[in-house]
Amino acid sequence: MILITGGTGTVGKELVKLLARPEEPIRVMVRDRNKAASIAYPGANLIEGDFSRADTLDRALSGVHKAFLLAPPGERQPELESNFVAAAARSDLKHVVKLSALGAAADSPARLLRGHAETERRIAESGIPYTFLRPGPFMQNFLNFRDSIVHRGEFYAPMGHGRVSIVDVRDVAAVAAEVLEEYGHENKTYDVTGPESLSYADAAERLTHALGKPVTYVDVPPEAARDSMLQAGMSPWLVDALLELHAMWRVNAASEIAGTVHDVAKRDPITFAEFAHDYAPQFGRTSRDPLAELMDNVNLDTMTPGA
């Protein structure tokens, strides 16, 4: 049996959707089954578990041969994932797939990337066969800009002209599903990226096309971004952690492009233009006009600026 943790998260939801089949059920660990309606698929057996309670981890891992590991992101993520690794070492687990992050390294200037590297190290030292998936920044993170895009046609971030290989979580889930269902991926590390390296201004152009209205990216100083996130109620630790990532991204530290989606998931990776089209209703688009439908056949990703 396969165990999925983080099943109600951005990647987890897509992964459960891909793997849940009545004829071959999977197990999904959740903190509260009453809050897991979004993954109540036939073939997804929910079990309540808590990364801070060893007894619940032992129950969740009982009879499991493969597991997808993702604890809630934050200051305690390395500690909570360490608890899972310890429980996995007590079980008969044959393979753990850890969702990490692009650039994870013990000496990274970003605390979130150091935390992922710490978990990777613990897993490797446990002796359990592993696969580390290191995705780039998610396209779906742009949904955090929904309100400002809907109401002002703008979104704000301290990204400058930095380029990032943004990846769709549907592609990340497709890679994870392949690794969990097939053999031959043990003790490997895969970077998982989109097919192009884009600036946030590039993303704004694609959103403009998909939404049928102007969308502008506004670069803001890190100090202003910090004040805004704190005012939104985010913890100071997480705010500083995100700013550390943005400081790396704005100097192209996450701009590399990997072929993992094509090579492992056996599919073409989703472009940002495709993401923008698919999620247009969530950004406020309610109707399509004939010209917009015609222009959907134009591939912006092959167009050269100024040509």
Averaged pLDDT, 179-187: 96
Whole-Å CA distances, 244 to 45, 201, 206: 38, 20, 26
Tokens of 155: 């979104």
pLDDT digits (tens, 9 = 90+) for 238-280: 999 999 999 999 999 999 999 999 999 999 999 999 999 999 9
User: Which residues have CB under 8 Å from 134's CB, separation 6+?
Assistant: 100, 101, 102, 103, 104, 116, 189, 190, 191, 192
Give a yes or no: residue 64 inside a domain: yes
| pLDDT tops 80 at residue 294 | no
Q: What share of the chain is helix, strand, coil (3-state, %, to 5)?
A: 45, 15, 40
Give the structural domain span for 102. 2-135+169-192
What average pLDDT does the segment 288-305 reach?
Answer: 41
Residue 22: CATH number of its domain: 3.40.50.720
- How far is 254 from 199, CA to CA, in rounded Å? 11
Q: Is 190 helix (H, G, I), strand (E, B) or coil?
A: strand
Task: Check: CB of residue 7 under 8 Å from CB of residue 1.
Answer: no
Tell me how far apart the terminal alpha carbons of the chain are, to the nearest angstrom: 53
Q: How confident is the model at residue 168 (pLDDT cuts 50, 70, 90)?
A: very high
Q: With respect to residue 41, please indicate whether it lies within any of the assigned structural domains.
A: yes
- pLDDT over 90, % of the chain: 89
pLDDT higher than 70, residue 299: no
Note whether residue 60 is domain-resident. Answer: yes
Whether the per-residue pLDDT at 295 is higher than 60: the answer is no
| Pairing relationship of beta strands 198-199 and 163-164 according to DSSP bridges | antiparallel
Q: What is the pLDDT of residues 139-162, one digit of tens each?
A: 999 999 999 999 999 999 999 999
Q: What is the DSSP string of 227-269?
A: HHHHHTT--HHHHHHHHHHHHHHTTTTT-----HHHHHS-SPP
Residue 113 has pLDDT above 80, yes or no: yes
Confidence of residue 283 (pLDDT cuts 50, 70, 90): very high
Task: Please give the helix or strand (H or E) that residue 205 lies within, else none.
Answer: helix 200-211
Q: Which residues contact 279 (CB under 8 A, 6 or more apart)?
A: 140, 143
Q: Read out DSSP for 109-144?
A: SSHHHHHHHHHHHHHHHHT--EEEEEE--BGGGGGG
Q: Are 109 and 247 in contact (CB under 8 A)?
A: yes
Q: Helix 77-90 and helix 111-126: axis angle, to 10°?
A: 10
Interatomic CA distance for residues 44 and 28, integer angstroms: 6
Domain assignment present for 58: yes
Inside any domain, residue 259? no
Residue 67 in 3-state DSSP? strand
DSSP-assigned beta bridge partners for residue 280: none
What total number of domains does the chain contain? 1
Quick check: 171 pLDDT over 50?
yes
Please give the torsion angle defined by the CA atoms of residues 296, 298, 300 and 305, in that order, rounded to the nearest 10 degrees: -140
Q: Check pLDDT > 50 for residue 88.
A: yes
The token duo for 281 is 């209703």
